[in-house]
Amino acid sequence: MSTDPSSPVLRIEGLVKRYGPHLVIDGVDLDVAAGQVVVFVGPSGTGKSTLLRCVNGLEDIQGGRILFEGQPVLSRSSAIHAVRRRIGMIFQGFNLYPHLTALQNVTLAPVKVLGEPAKDVEERARGLFRKVRLEHRAHAFPSQLSGGEQQRVAIARALAMNPHLLMFDEPTSALDPETVGDVLAVMEDLAREGRTMLVVTHEIGFARHVGDRMIFMDGGKIVEDRPPEEMIASPENPRTRQFLGSILHH
Amino acid sequence: MSPQVAAYWYVFLKGVGITLWISWLALILGGVVGLVIGLLRIAPWAIVRWAAIVYIEVFRSVPPLVLFFGCFYGLSFAMKLDLSPFSAATIALTLTASALMAEVVRAGIESVTRGQWEAALSQGMTYPQVFRYVIWPQAIRVMLPPSVGVYISTLKDSSLASIIGYVELTKSGLLVRESTGISFEVLLIIAILYFIINYSISLVGTALERRFKYVH
Ligand SMILES: Nc1ncnc2c1ncn2[C@@H]1O[C@H](COP(=O)(O)OP(=O)(O)O)[C@@H](O)[C@H]1O
Ligand SMILES: [Mg+2]
């Protein structure tokens, strides 16, 4: 299963995704190396979420292929579960399990899916709660937590599986402004640890300080893929310029 | 209460016991069958879904009385089964209860948002694991109140079993009425007993519901 360290963690070749007749991903090629933080920006409805969902096989694809750590991602194969175990996903709406405490949210999958001993997982979960700065909230239910706290529990839940890739789909878009910073700070820590991350966000400050690459998507295509500083300072494509202008000046 | 009627207290008591027993049995059997039908109702295969819909719609709309006759005389005749009133009544009650429970199960499962499936699947859970650890524990909270309603309606339907000669609470009362010749008082007692039973079930249901609520 282990692959050549120089080969990408994720390789996407000529990806095509349609919903019925509606073309949503229109031939995307992308290599992501280990440790890279790739930030996706673009107008809504351009296929950013869909792209992430294809990567862990939540959507089937109509063309091209996706390789995760050298293995093809096939949404309908039984191997998909093993792929998903190694990819953590954080959603805009948190999607915590409301019937479980924060701690149980984090320990559920490692115990039930990976079959690890509950004691070990709980130990690791405590460490993760420290990492996301929520040690005091481990026994709260999701409904008792603020949005920012819920999202940090969701991050801890993803980390508990020891994933090799983390995907964030607008993780701060549903948050009150005052809790956005806490979530971004945790994500920045993860990036500094050298984790491989795909992040869809409108937080240009995060992209600039934390991202290694910034990808502008429009109409299901990658329009521009450059270091964030450069793209923000001097976008090449007129659409990129227009989009960045619209989110920087309001 | 007149002494003639009071002398039959044990008949009423036994009637209450039998009514509770047969409706409970029908609820359990109906719950199990209803769970299966409810799952088939949301299966990914259209033909299976259709079969489940037909089952639900048929047994939800046929009046219980017709089912009692159908099971007691019809099944006996068609399948050469010699069903006792008890068996026929249990089957009839189960058919209705399972159709109602199937809808309760479907509504419960569909009340859990798509995001829950996605979060669990993205953690590498298989469909059965998602169902067992994430969907079901949430669905069951939604299912509880309407299940109590199904139990109460099953319990009331069970009074129709008196027609095929099964001696539950209603039939017990009618027997007491025959032997004593006292009508109004006996019927009143039956009504009060049904009320006490159903109201108690409601109260238990409300208490369970409160216990099952998430912390807020
Ligand atoms: N389940 C679906 N069925 C049909 N169309 C969908 C579905 N999910 C997304 N789409 C469409 O795909 C396009 C891309 O959506 P999405 O990936 O969510 O965009 P973004 O995340 O960039 O805003 C949109 O036009 C959206 O309406
Ligand atoms: Mg999106």
* Segment A136-150, tens digit of pLDDT: 999 999 999 999 999
| Nearest CA, atom 27, ligand 1 | A45
Strand A10-19: give its sheet, edge to edge: A22-32, A10-19, A63-68, A71-72
* Residue A34 touches partner B, C-beta closer than 8 Å: no
Nearest to B102, CA basis, from B156, B47, B54, B36: B36
Percent of chain A with pLDDT over 70: 97
Return the higher-pLDDT residue of A155 and B82. Answer: A155
Ligand 2 midpoint to CA A200 (Å): 8
pLDDT in tens, A11-62: 999 999 999 999 999 999 999 999 999 999 999 999 999 999 999 999 999 9
Task: In whole angstroms, give the CA distance from residue B76 to residue B83.
Answer: 6
Nearest to B115, CA basis, from A191, A174, A70: A174
Report chain B's C-alpha Rg in angstroms. 21
Atom of ligand 1 at shortest range from CA of A42: 22
* Closest Cα in chain A, distance from residue B207 (Å): 18
ipTM passes above 0.90: yes
Find chain B residues with C-beta within 8 A of A113's C-beta.
123-125, 129
DSSP strand E in B30-186: where?
none
Task: In whole angstroms, give the CA distance from residue A218 to residue A213.
Answer: 16
- For chain B, domain boundaries: 3-213
Nearest-by-Cβ selection for B137 from A91, A99, A158: A99
Task: In whole angstroms, give the CA distance from residue B151 to residue B201.
Answer: 8
Nearest-by-Cβ selection for A84 from B123, B133, B138: B123
* Closest Cα in chain A, distance from residue B213 (Å): 9
Find chain A residues with C-beta within 8 A of B121's C-beta.
58, 84
Task: In whole angstroms, give the CA distance from residue B108 to residue B93.
Answer: 22
Residue B153 contacts by C-beta under 8 Å, 6 or more apart in sequence? B100
Q: Which CATH superfamily includes the segment(s) B3-213?
A: MetI-like (1.10.3720.10)
Q: What residues are in contact with ligand 1 under a 6 Å CB criterion? A: A 19, 22, 24, 42, 44-50
Ligand 2 midpoint to CA A183 (Å): 18
Ligand 1 midpoint to CA A148 (Å): 25
Cβ-defined contact of A84 to B122 (cutoff 8 Å): yes
Ligand 1 midpoint to CA A239 (Å): 20
Which domains are assigned to chain A?
7-86+164-171+202-250 (3.40.50.300)
pLDDT in tens, A206-247: 999 999 999 999 999 999 999 999 999 989 999 999 999 888
Ligand 1 midpoint to CA A19 (Å): 8
Residues with Cβ within 5 Å of ion ligand 2?
A: A 49
Determine which of B123, B132, B142, B216 to mutate to test the interface with A (most A C-beta atoms within 10 Å): B123
* Residue B140 touches partner A, C-beta closer than 8 Å: no
For residue A250, the model assigns a pLDDT of 59
pLDDT in tens, A181-217: 999 999 999 999 999 999 999 999 999 999 999 999 9
pLDDT-based confidence at A4, cuts 50/70/90? low
Q: What share of chain A is helix, strand, coil (3-state, %, to 5)?
A: 40, 25, 35
For residue B212, the model assigns a pLDDT of 76
Nearest-by-Cβ selection for B122 from A82, A89, A141: A89
Predicted model pTM: 0.88
For residue A1, the model assigns a pLDDT of 45
Q: In this predicted structure, which of A6-10, A147-151, B57-61 has the lowest mean pLDDT?
A: A6-10
Q: Give the per-residue SS3 of A178-195.
A: HHHHHHHHHHHHHHHCCC
* Residue B187 touches partner A, C-beta closer than 8 Å: no
For residue B216, the model assigns a pLDDT of 44
For residue B211, the model assigns a pLDDT of 80
For residue A225, the model assigns a pLDDT of 96
Report, as an integer, the average pLDDT of A122-138. 95
Two tokens, residue B140? 């069951």
Nearest-by-Cβ selection for B121 from A58, A88, A99: A58
* Residue A79 touches partner B, C-beta closer than 8 Å: no
pLDDT in tens, B187-201: 999 999 999 999 999
Residue A227 contacts by C-beta under 8 Å, 6 or more apart in sequence? A211, A212, A213, A214
Ligand 2 midpoint to CA A170 (Å): 7
| Nearest CA, atom 3, ligand 1 | A19
Report, as an integer, the average pLDDT of A113-127. 96
Q: What angle do CA A110, B134, A182 make, to 5 degrees?
A: 65
Closest chain B CA to residue A54: B122
Q: Residue A242: what residue type?
A: Q
For residue B42, the model assigns a pLDDT of 92
pLDDT in tens, B164-174: 888 889 999 99
Q: Is residue A3 scored above 60 in pLDDT?
A: no
A200 close to A187: Cβ distance less than 8 angstroms = no
Q: Is residue B41 scored above 80 in pLDDT?
A: yes
pLDDT-based confidence at B76, cuts 50/70/90? confident
* Closest Cα in chain B, distance from residue A95 (Å): 6
For residue B213, the model assigns a pLDDT of 72
For residue A90, the model assigns a pLDDT of 98
Closest chain B CA to residue A167: B122
Determine which of A58, A60, A81, A144 to mutate to test the interface with B (most B C-beta atoms within 10 Å): A81
Return the higher-pLDDT residue of A111 and A2. Answer: A111
* Average pLDDT value for chain A: 94
The DSSP letter of residue B157 is H
